[in-house]
Structure 1
Amino acid sequence: MAFSIGATTTSSRSINNGVTTVDCHKQVRSWRLLRYLVALLIPTCNCIEQKEESFEHKKIMRGAASTTSTITGTIFGYRKGKVSFCIQSNSNSSEPILLLELAVPTTILAKEMRGGTLRIVLESSCSYNKNLFSTPLWTMYCNGRKVGYAALKLMRSVSVGTGVINNEQDNELMYLRASFQRVRGTSNSESFHLIDPEGCIGQELSIFFFRSPR
């Protein structure tokens, strides 16, 4: 089932043309804007804490054999639902490299983002013979705490932008497109790091994929 986020709207969706609709490359000046967008959707975050489970993170080092490139990443999620993460080779690509529905609800993500730093680690123990991103299910850790599982979703095309979309159920969809540095470590590890509009790779958002031995 295709899912499209973009300038074209259907009868069930309309784009807010107010201050929350911004151009990613011209108006987004810092990662603080994304936290602001989430705060608009969730003025008060009175969410139930999920059970914390410490994660002894296996460091994914950027060794001499690692390679880097720049891709387009999109984070989006309904105010009353969970967050998804989409990876595309570039902003014009109609075929996503990966689309994951993350275990963390939008309310939990908003709370974590208020701390200024967000680290998401996705770990699996599937066969090494498969492509890393073909793994259907990932154990997810958010800032060191296990929050559940991320599931692979199948989509034919995704068009992305930045802003807020409303629907008939008054359940806003927040989405942000930005450039990420893609770091390929080994066939079992990759990571993605947010590049801010000034071209700097900061510490605000990093997503790690790690396949461990069975």
Structure 2
Amino acid sequence: MATSSKRAYRSTSRPEGANRTRAKVLEAGRHLFSRKGIDATTIAQIAERAGVSEATVYATVGSKSGLLDALMREALFGPRFKSAQDKLEGVADPVQRIALTAHIARAIYQAESAELSLLMKASAFSPELRKSQQEFETLRRDMQRERIDALFKAGRARKGLTKETAATLMWMFTGREIYHKLVHESGWTPDRFQDWLERTLLESLTDTVTPAERSLS
């Protein structure tokens, strides 16, 4: 019985140890990428700061590219995103799901600003960062596709729109650049951005009557 208990303890501790190692590697990468830039940081430096071997870094994240991807996903799809996504999953109405897209976009970029702003400034011209951002843009568009399909299936899309145009407009309006220009450069609050984006998406993509149209009726 004692041997069985010891084995059970070890099997439980292994995942916990792996998680602690991963957390140390990610934190070391975040720190160094934010101060030295992605291109100037080496795996050896990451390993030294994390207190692990280079082999452990490779086994944990694969490469600098893998480490950057892990950091991006951890920040962009963290608690804020999951909370917004949970709200979306509980809604069946396709128009309301379009509206909630504004909440998801705000959650993603607010988390990014809080957790990755130094990293992105330090590595603004890094090919690795550009590649990671391009992959995120493809993923973001794919994730939005279901909401556009549901809108058209329900016959609630704005008259004259094609699915492809609607998908492109949603992808554009929810882009990082617009959030950055409105919130960081123009001083909007995240709340104001979300309200504007929700209104813009509804008026641009759905058959919802706009305030201007309502005043003419």
Q: TM-score range by the shorter chain?
A: under 0.3
What TM-score, normalized to structure 1? 0.23
The higher radius of gyration belongs to 2
What TM-score, normalized to structure 2? 0.23
Structure number having the greater helix percentage: 2
- With CA pairs under 8 Å and 6+ residues apart, which has the higher RCO, 1 or 2? 1
Structure number having the greater strand percentage: 1
